Structure 1
């Protein structure tokens, strides 16, 4: 079958053999001589959505969105079409985001803008409600935990969804991941120019008051729509279908329609999402996320699941300039490598355990290092990491290994310096007081406070700014370590799951010891960060490489090591969504603290189990 593109056609479906629409007489042609409309999927506030076939791509299915407004024609070109195409380009920058369909094309034809997107094989949440009934509170909490980081990411890029509702949230069949669809990419459209369909009231019932003005949509507008979506999921009734009581709008009495009462923790979150006054709503998706994660006191946040390889090059954010470590010596300031005889050293206590986790040896190793004075008697100790080669990733036989840790491959690492400990709160506070390079920093972001505790609750963007400020202060090239350099330093020439041996115990690291690894035994669960340097170092003299806080690396997330660099450099993409975290944390079990273990988080994420340490590149002496 072939579908007519006349937006006013009441029966657009025609046999393949038809040259003209049997209903309206419009000529049936391929859109842009490429896309064949197969069927009309729906009519929304902002236009029509079609299932199509891409004739230039082996008839692959795709989604075509047709923007319709009353002011169609040449006058609309400047007021609607041009802004539409500009914002479609902005949305295209999110094309590698794992929760957003890729944009395949966007263009104007016959004064009508079109957007072509990747087809998602899945079921939208509207269908899920119709088939399975209302969601439980736990299901809604899980949905919020998955969607809020996505909204924060798109909002960071200046993109507003503008039409968030259950029908525009899909559950992908292949991996059960939530996908956001149905973006309205033109902020120039308001209700006075909407396609006049019978279901306008239904669609607009998810929208807050401010979107009825031309340019008033804000990130908080999406948060209101998310709250309305949660109401629909919890009650099984769309907002527009909730009866009006005594003239009161649905936001004032929706809780009466819940099959089960909400918990006292989630109720105020939804109420704040649904404030009709934008100023009374949450200011960001990240703010909501923090509250949702903290609803169940005494519990820890589940680790993010590793995304599929397809979404490894997660996108959506333009990368700040983070120098590859340790490429391009010409761009680095000169931190010359000194002869060992003139390099200061300290004695590091290094422990080794047997297969049962019992310490079988304690030795002291001399470790070369340099000290950076960052003011007010606060020092930054940087340990010398020798050059070498190692096997990155985990073997198939390693317990609890993930596919994201494969394939194992040999990487060559030039010498560099790495901070002896994770960056502390005292160090963070001094650098945060320095002049900003690209962004402001909170000087006291941590949940667990203490000068010698690791700083935490800092985003990847925050720590890149920290490195930039530290580089300006010292004249040296400070940066996050590459993921390969981090693992090389963590292993410290070992090939066991941990630098200490085949297992781990809680006398050697701060992690959740309620579960064992290998033949090891259980231990304590401190439920907070500990002061840096509390535990023995690894053979390279580095402390807390296992546990305490997850540590940001410079690399953007990739789902495995296919095509990974083998020279120790940073692996980044032009557009990205997530970055790599290494080492495990105080609230993870030993399996996540392995040298090869890796996870991702949104680059904007700030959690009380995420910190970092810094690297410094050694420049080669100039040739005489």
Structure 2
């Protein structure tokens, strides 16, 4: 049958010349077709006609579909990784974007998509696994693949939860038992979903029918027999708020099993009951508690959720069958109840051992942690530290040692100079061409070594909890500075802002052009307003700079490009700091407006000294009108330089005016419209803007002559 957009409904496929379909109620006028979507009534596989788009994500688009000769509707999931592919002008062919790395990722993700289809097909052969979306077909066409599944009429658990922001235990019970039945069948076959979330649990029949849940989106699922390790991937490893610690680490040597799914399920239950996800893994390692909103919550249900959310897998139920037994009384299954045995003291001891090792930051300290820990929740970090410090110790053995007696320093310098000269002299005798015009040897002295562009001076920051934001009494406080407790895990932060010289090494190695160079320049301050000048970019800011100054006029996207290159060169995992990490490190244990106290001066930071703050004496009359060399002012109490002034610094966090937890994590998408947070103030800022709590924000493509960044890593 031929379908025409003007005469058929794109939802139910029945004849309908009106915008509002009389058969199903779909309103065609409110439906927006986007450029990357397949045209209405596109045919695939010679038998499936696609209707309207049902939903989309970063790697797939889902359409409603009808099979020729049948009245049954299907859902068709098209492989379309928007960061790796585009649509042809004809509107159907999927074209890989250029670049070897993108082609490799396209192929990797394509394989994962096919694996999802095969896994669903395998599960289809086991009728006892009833609570998963049913596989129908797989079509490979148009340079892509199409997974055909049953069409489910209902809503996700997220949509059911959204109107009231919470679900009561009575609303949880109907869908939890059948969902556990499904997980039990999957776990028996060593199949682990790895991405259980509010959006991946679908309620067939909607919120009025809670007892028929369907587990969806098996894109990350794996059969444990064939593959039992987490692989690093551009797709990621699950939904951040529900990730088990072993998934969040993204370590290819970390084994996953049924308990990984149970952590995610515990996070879903916690979210439903409390209205917010549980604290992040990092903050919980620092002692952040699991606080339940319901004071009269069933003790067994509460204890069981807490056990599912155990940071150590050993503290969680073994699998879905074991979890069902623990919840027998709540679910009224009639099974024997197995009590929970959480050992809070054991976790506290483990945390104390780790904090002691971090404070010492020595080989012996980390080795002591590995020898004495029982849960060993920080085993991977400790082993990495042992490797790092062991290598440093080995290198130190081969470095020339200065004499213990300072009075003999002149002798040491003479000897070093002699050996350098001797080495060069030998070279001139053995290297043809090093001759003067009269045939005599020429001694060529080596030029001074350039700074290593890959070496980043990092300061180890021991994590903890602090009051983020500012009190209501703080002078010039803004509305987005709500004071609240925030916790951060241990991390490293750059001692200095990334310098112009370091950024220049990246540009030289890659040929990269910043967005200011490739676009319409950089914003600068005229004295009365900000304007964009096409001639201004990181090389030409309109004031004098050398390689020791912080790089400026770089967008958030430029910073990400630099970080990607640096990580490739160093095999480390540098990133921008989260907003919470930045403020925690800037404050360095202080609770005053500035880390310098109640006031700041131009002897302590580079800012606009023609203005005062709270009549404290910040007005000194000194204004440089540009950046200064990194590290030119005193460090804060934790050894970090220029955390106030010089250049604004990008963070990896999305800006939310009323803090909602986004400040403690990096943004999970690259949406060009989502605002990113900047911190610290700059050389052009009035002193109140240098307060530790001040937040600025902008889109990731923004660049200004007073904007730079510094690096972080775990």
- Same fold? TM cut 0.5: no
- Larger Cα-atom Rg: 2
TM-score of the aligned structures, taking structure 2 as reference length:
0.38
Structure number with higher helix proportion? 2
Structure number with higher strand proportion? 1
Which one has more relative contact order, counting CA pairs under 8 Å at least 6 apart?
1
